[in-house]
């Protein structure tokens, strides 16, 4: 007896799903790529925003831009891409729903290409960031260990050179044999 209607064999379904799983991220990435070099220019202000918005560096810091990238009004954006990835960065750049930014960008929104370029720049800067410097607590701990090592070594020499004869003299006075 033949069944009527459309039927897909399980192995064909698995094959179609595998192809879609592999192809969709690639297609999405190709559709959502930006120019990181232009994104850096937009961030630093060397290229003006299309609608006249302020450059990001006016308020935000970003590691790798030297002393020019150390503005402190807004948060440091060095970890933005690592924390939120492409989708999160795109959402932030699309809405800019922060009170201090709403006034600046309400009538000057970022264009789609500017958002893509800035996202590409944040991705590139996240890849290029040097490993984090040792924390202050780690440096303090290292310093304490070094001080204890120096005191320990000095104390051993002192014990052998000055204290040992004093201990032996005190033992003789008490009548204790060493």
In CATH, what number is assigned to the domain containing residue 87? 1.10.760
How confident is the model at residue 31, as a pLDDT?
A: 39
Spatial neighbors of 33 by CB under 8 A, at least 6 apart, are 116, 120
How confident is the model at residue 18, as a pLDDT?
A: 63
In a domain, 83, yes or no: yes
| Burial category of 53 from C-beta neighbours within 10 Å (exposed 0-12, middle 13-18, buried 19 and up) | buried
* Host domain of residue 46: 11-128
Which has the higher per-residue pLDDT, 41 or 27? 41
| Burial category of 14 from C-beta neighbours within 10 Å (exposed 0-12, middle 13-18, buried 19 and up) | exposed
**Residue 81 · residue 64 · CB < 8 Å:** no
Shared-domain flag, residues 69 and 124: yes
Shared-domain flag, residues 107 and 54: yes
The mean pLDDT value of the chain amounts to 78
Shared-domain flag, residues 78 and 147: no
Residue 70's closest CA among 44, 52, 93, 91? Answer: 44
In a domain, 3, yes or no: no
User: What is the number of domains present in the chain?
Assistant: 2
* SS3 state at 79: coil
Shared-domain flag, residues 101 and 77: yes
Shared-domain flag, residues 15 and 99: yes
User: For the stretch 117-148, what's the b/e string if a residue is b when 16 or more beta carbons lie within 10 angstroms of its beta carbon?
Assistant: bbbbbbbbbbeeeeeeeeeeeeeeeeeeeeee
Q: What is the pLDDT of residues 48-80, one digit of tens each?
A: 999 999 898 888 888 877 665 566 788 888 888
Shared-domain flag, residues 63 and 143: no
Shared-domain flag, residues 78 and 153: no
């Amino acid at each position: 007896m033949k069944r009527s209607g459309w039927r897909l064999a399980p192995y064909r379904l698995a094959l179609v799903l595998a192809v879609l799983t592999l192809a969709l991220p690639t297609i999405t990435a190709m559709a959502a790529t930006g120019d990181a070099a232009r994104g850096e220019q937009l961030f630093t202000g060397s290229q003006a925003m299309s609608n006249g918005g302020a450059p990001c560096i006016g308020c935000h810091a970003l590691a790798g831009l030297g002393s020019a990238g150390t503005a402190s009004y807004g948060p440091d954006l060095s970890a933005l891409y690592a924390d939120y990835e492409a989708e999160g960065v795109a959402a932030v750049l699309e809405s800019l729903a922060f009170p201090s930014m709403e006034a600046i960008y309400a009538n000057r929104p970022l264009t789609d290409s500017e958002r893509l370029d800035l996202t590409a720049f944040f991705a590139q800067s996240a890849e290029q960031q040097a490993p984090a410097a040792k924390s202050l607590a780690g440096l303090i701990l290292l310093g304490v260990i070094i001080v204890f090592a120096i005191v320990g070594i000095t104390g051993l020499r002192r014990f052998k050179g000055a204290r040992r004869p004093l201990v032996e003299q005190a033992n003789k006075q008490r009548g204790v044999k060493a």
